Amino acid sequence: MTRRQVVRLAVLFLLVFIVAPSLVLAQGNILPGQIVPQQCNDPGGCKSICDLAQVAQNVLNTGIYIAVFLSAVLFAWAGFLYLTNSANSSGISKAKEVFLNVGIGLVIILAGWLLVDTLIKVLAGGKFGTWNKVCELLLHHVSAFV
């Protein structure tokens, strides 16, 4: 099989199994959710620090979602490079480099989120789930005094 045939086959695969289903699912919301909460879209914008914390959490969730998706695509590309360059040692080394770089990038992104989450939990006493639940904890303490 020539290189041109492999490229044509890859483009056909991409169109049939990736592009076509995404066009069908274009009506739905592919990302994890709305980034800006509805109360921030009202006149006056975000009214509390909790709304801003929710926006930050939504941005982080969307960023991680996109990063994981792109890393899966790049892992697939590296695998394709590895399989198609079996006789070419420079192609195999390029594929291994892509594998390594994508793996390191994904670990850095997820470790950064874990570091921020752990730090906020420790600073706030660790009596809640993820760091964006700080507002629920604060509102609970304020309502106990009222």
Question: Could you report the per-residue pLDDT of 73-129, keeping only the tens digit for each?
Answer: 899 989 988 998 888 888 899 999 999 999 999 999 889 888 877 877 777 666 656
Query: What pLDDT score does 58 carry?
Result: 78
- Of the ranges 26-35, 100-109, 137-146, which one carries the lowest mean pLDDT score? 137-146
Q: What is the b/e burial string over 112-129, where b = at least 16 CB atoms within 10 angstroms of the residue's CB?
A: ebeeeeeebbeeeeeebe
Q: Compute, in degrees rounded to 10, the torsion defined by CA atoms 135, 64, 35, 56.
A: 40
Query: What pLDDT score does 48 carry?
Result: 75
Sequence-distant (6+) residues with CB within 8 A of 113 are: 60, 64
Q: How confident is the model at residue 59 (pLDDT cuts 50, 70, 90)?
A: confident
Residues present in the chain in total: 146
Q: What is the mean pLDDT of the chain?
A: 76
Q: What is the pTM of this model?
A: 0.64
